Amino acid sequence: MTKEIQRNWFEQYMVPCFAPAPFIPVRAEGSRVWDQNEKEYVDFAGGIAVNALGHANNELKETLSSQMENLWHIGNGYTNEPVLKLAKDLVENTFSDKVFFCNSGAEANEAALKIARKYALDKHGSHKNEIISFENSFHGRTLFTVTVGGQPKYSQDFAPLPQQITHLPYNDIEAIKAHISDKTCAVIVEPIIGEGGVIPATPDFLKALRELCDQYQALLIYDEIQTGIGRTGYLYAYEETGVEPDILTSAKGLGGGFPIGAMLVKQHVAEVFQPGSHGTTFGGNPLASAVAHKVLSIVNQKAFLAGVQERHQEFIRHMTDLNQRYQVFSEIRGKGLLLGAELADKYQGKAKTLTNLAAEEGLIALIAGPNVLRFAPALNIEQQDINDGFARLENALKRFVQE
């Protein structure tokens, strides 16, 4: 039946926001994917850091199946058991006091930016409304979040845009010191810039942001959509430096493939949202919450997080070995299993070409802008999948340097 469904239906029936691969995946397990023609791929993309436990994880399937027999959706006039369990565990294992649930990273960031503006209005007055973000950042596709993101190509066609948003250079302490003021209500930062090139923040930069936010009574927002839920080898990346935000956003890996987003906040921030301030129809639904709770219970174990760090070393070793042979990358960077390889000068602009060749060889990979090859595989990816994936990447690199 699936072979009757044609790839060209995308162009025929769907809004052309995307340029999907020429093959259609139909089945997946662990870190392996098969298309309509039964061609096999090793998955180093993880659904863009979403499939934290790989495809069709048995424990997640059992959890979802069990919840499906009980309650799917009840609406926000009621609460439900799975969402209460999930909220309790997130609060008890992070800096936060309260959680708001939604359906995506963009929605989580939208909530964070709205609550920051409302907090400043309620506590300080209407003059305190500036949001500081950073160049090359990415925070979502709503009008607010795409404007706060530091990549004008994503926002410039949708003017007039929300105002009082400033973009400063990432990892530049002097730039933020020179600009932040009593008008600043919030600073939003990715601990690792993801879409913009897989660039980690320096510990000193994050510490400076915390100190400056305290000095100017601004809220510090960590966008951990991509870095959260074990991706860097910590439950959340902020734990590595010990620099706590006032607000943290989470999505992607939180649901292990099931759509969910969350805004984690401290008590003094949470209380400015009262009934009617903000809302969502599907957010915190029992299906998503049950699956996310299971993901959290699996990932938030010392042995599991240590395994992420071990796999990081394996990926770095393989990438370094390949680069010594083919000299394609100028820098390999990232933390845990969020990794980026910057293309050398002679290959600039050709990251998509490389991922296309990799797909032909049976490897699914990502880009982070035109110059960076990005990996965000399952956090529990097996050794054999790692070995096979890099063998296929080597085949792609041979063709890449020849072409």
Q: Indicate the annotated binding residues.
A: 105-106, 138, 141, 223-226, 280-281
194-222 burial, b at 16+ Cβ within 10 Å, e below that, comes to: bbbbbbbbeeebbebbbebbeeeebbbbb
DSSP lists the bridge partners of residue 343 as 329
Angle (CA) 210-200-211 rounded to 5° is 10
Are the beta carbons of 311 and 281 closer than 8 angstroms?
Answer: no
Annotated binding site for pyridoxal 5'-phosphate: 105-106, 138, 223-226, 281
Question: What is the distance between the alpha carbons of residues 231 and 251, in angstroms, rounded to a whole number?
Answer: 12
Are the beta carbons of 111 and 279 closer than 8 angstroms?
Answer: no
| Strand-by-strand arrangement of the 329-335 sheet | 329-335, 338-343, 372-375, 366-367
Which ranges of 23-154 would DSSP assign to H, the alpha helix? 46-49, 58-68, 81-92, 105-123, 143-148
Question: What is the distance between the alpha carbons of residues 215 and 181, in angstroms, rounded to a whole number?
Answer: 9
Terminal-residue alpha carbon distance, the chain:
37
Q: Does residue 114 sit in helix, strand or coil?
A: helix
How would you classify the pairing of strands 184-189 and 192-193? Answer: unpaired
Q: Does residue 388 sit in helix, strand or coil?
A: helix
CA 35 to chain centre: 25
Both tokens assigned to 226: 């991509």
Annotated binding site for N(2)-acetyl-L-ornithine: 141, 280
Question: What is the distance between the alpha carbons of residues 134 and 352, in angstroms, rounded to a whole number?
Answer: 25
Place of tokens 């089945």: 27
